[in-house]
């Protein structure tokens, strides 16, 4: 259930397991919120007693962590109408524990002018649930032909630059963008796909693709793009961020680049450490993603890359589509799925399975993407905004898209048993989503 409760003057969240990856914090204690700000936190902040005017929330058995920063969500038409209006997207975000999200720039309209960038942020502020930020388009119209005014878009609030789902194939243009972004001190987010190798592709190039008669997307489509991006970062001395890594080969290339001291960071999305290409068997269009789901060995490698920090962050790649765009023959179906409401539970499920350390999983969704995008969120800091979540790491439940808050309910994880469940999302000290009343 969603809620937008009034803010209480002072609230104490008691007996919680407080987790702040940025500070390496893992303690049992309390956190005090006053007027939307974290006033204090620690193991014994109420040792001398608690004032009767403070509202108390007992968090026994629950973890308290910073609100999630989703650094990449594909929302077609972030300032206008579409399959999932922005208000619905914001509701879905806070239902997933996301207090800040960044939209990809290639929706309708494309975020290639300051006016569009400001409109997206203004609409998010009006809705008043999650912080809504946006990446700026690297090229005009996201067509890959001419660079946008990166400096003007940066000044208009764009927190990074990408071409969205359309990879920049013009290497000279991308090199120019990297050099310019270095001057502005912003982040270029590359889409690691080689266009000629994904053209007409439907799922991962595999035995399953052959059996289903579907054109495959090879691993090489990712590795060639990553090799180029790493080479450009090395040659220019600029930093580059590689989005949605899906393959073991991609992880290995990034690991080697980091070992050489090249300024490269990367993220993946929950489907790539939670499912393999077999999820698309039977022509299941809800599992049609770009990049595609890969092999079990790739899933294992993505988890290892997340665990050791080779892959810095996790982003949802939430990509809402109307059902009539998915309930069609596989080759005609749109790429993408709902990701906001499954991001945290899939990460917590990997933690519960012993495949990902808790603080590393949370870091990948909070302080690390904030560091990459130069944002002051994703941490529990005294005298800063009270943006945090409460979750039960031991709660077992079944993902059911019929209970999703957002308008988009296409997910490859329908019916999936997971362990770890969001209980409450607090934004600026106000409860914006709750599963059960506390």
89-140: per-residue pLDDT in tens?
A: 999 999 999 999 999 998 888 999 999 999 999 999 999 999 999 999 999 9
Whether residue 279 is found in the same domain as residue 411: no
- CA 295/CA 317 separation, integer angstroms: 19
Assess if residue 5 is contained within a domain: no
Structurally, how many domains does the chain consist of? 2
Q: Tell me: do 41 and 183 sit in the same domain.
A: no
- CB-neighbour burial class of residue 47 (10 A; exposed 0-12, middle 13-18, buried 19+): exposed
The residue to which tokens 């609230």 are assigned: 11
Using CA atoms, how far apart are residues 202 and 200, in angstroms rounded to an integer? 7
Q: Is residue 2 part of a domain?
A: no
Instruction: Determine the Cα–Cα distance for residues 212 and 237; give it in Å rounded to an integer.
Output: 44
DSSP string for residues in 125-163:
HHH-SSEEEEPEESBGGGSSSSB--HHHHHHTT---EE-
pTM for the whole structure: 0.95
- The tokens describing 101, both together, are 């999200």
Element (H, E) at 420: strand 417-427
Confidence at residue 78, expressed as pLDDT on a 0 to 100 scale: 47
Assigned domain for 379 exists: no
3-class SS shares of the chain: helix, strand, coil, % to 5? 35, 25, 40
Query: Which residue carries 């990367």 as its tokens?
Result: 266
- Nearest Cα residue to 91 out of 320, 249, 369: 320
Domain range for 398: 10-64+384-434
Below-70 pLDDT ranges, the chain: 1-8, 76-83, 437-438
Is 185 inside a domain boundary?
yes
Q: Are residues 35 and 82 in the same domain?
A: no
Q: Are residues 22 and 115 in the same domain?
A: no
Residues 268 and 403 in one domain: no
- pLDDT for 7 equals 62
pLDDT score of 48: 86
Say if residue 19 is preceded by a cis peptide, omega within 30 of 0.
no
Check whether residue 360 and residue 397 sit in a common domain: no
Per the CB < 8 A criterion, the answer to whether 136 and 117 are in contact is: yes
Question: Residues with Cβ < 8 Å from 114, sequence gap 6 or more?
Answer: 152, 153, 155, 156
| Domain contains 84 | yes
Closest CA to 302 of 272, 266, 331: 272
pLDDT digits (tens, 9 = 90+) for 207-239: 999 999 999 999 999 999 999 999 999 999 999
Is 59 found in the same domain as 202?
no
Pair (166, 277) in one structural domain: yes
User: In this predicted structure, what is the pLDDT of residue 8?
Assistant: 66
């Amino acid at each position: 259930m969603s809620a937008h409760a009034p803010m209480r003057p002072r609230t104490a969240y008691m007996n919680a397991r407080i987790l702040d990856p940025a500070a390496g914090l893992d303690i049992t204690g309390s956190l005090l919120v006053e007027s939307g700000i974290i006033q204090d936190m620690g193991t014994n902040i109420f040792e001398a007693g608690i004032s009767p005017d403070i509202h108390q929330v007992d968090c026994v058995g629950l973890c308290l962590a910073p609100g999630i920063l989703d650094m990449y969500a594909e929302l077609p038409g972030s300032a206008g109408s579409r399959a999932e209006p922005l208000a619905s997207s914001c509701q879905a975000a806070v239902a997933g524990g996301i207090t800040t999200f960044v939209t990809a720039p290639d929706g309708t309209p494309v975020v290639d002018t300051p006016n569009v960038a400001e409109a997206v942020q203004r609409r998010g502020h009006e809705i008043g649930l999650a912080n809504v930020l946006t990446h700026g388009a690297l090229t005009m119209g996201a067509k890959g032909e001419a660079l946008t005014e990166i400096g003007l878009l940066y000044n208009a609030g764009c927190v990074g630059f990408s071409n969205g789902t359309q990879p920049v194939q013009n290497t000279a243009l991308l090199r120019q963008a990297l050099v310019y972004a270095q001057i502005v001190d912003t982040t270029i987010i590359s889409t690691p796909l080689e266009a000629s190798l994904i053209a007409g592709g439907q799922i991962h190039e595999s035995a399953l693709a052959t059996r289903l008669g579907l054109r495959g997307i090879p691993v090489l489509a990712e590795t060639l793009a990553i090799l180029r991006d790493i080479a450009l970062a090395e040659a220019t001395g600029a930093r580059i961020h590689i989005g949605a890594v899906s393959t073991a080969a991609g992880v290995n290339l990034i690991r080697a680049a980091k070992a050489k001291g090249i300024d490269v960071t990367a993220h993946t999305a929950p489907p790539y450490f939670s499912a393999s290409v077999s999820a698309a068997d039977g022509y299941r269009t809800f599992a049609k993603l770009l990049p595609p789901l890969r092999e079990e060995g790739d899933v294992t490698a993505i988890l290892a890359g997340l665990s050791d920090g080779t892959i810095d962050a996790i982003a949802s790649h939430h990509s809402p589509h109307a059902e009539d765009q998915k309930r069609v023959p596989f080759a005609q179906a749109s790429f993408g799925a709902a990701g906001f409401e499954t991001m945290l539970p899939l990460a917590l499920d990997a933690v519960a399975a012993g495949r990902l350390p808790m603080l590393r999983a949370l870091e990948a969704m909070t302080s690390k993407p904030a560091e990459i995008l130069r944002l002051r969120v994703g941490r529990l800091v005294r005298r800063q905004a009270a943006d945090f979540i409460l979750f039960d790491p031991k709660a077992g439940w079944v993902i059911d898209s019929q209970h999703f808050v957002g308008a988009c309910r296409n997910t490859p994880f329908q019916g999936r048993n997971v362990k770890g469940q969001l209980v409450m999302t607090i934004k600026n000290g106000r409860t914006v989503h709750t599963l059960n009343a506390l």
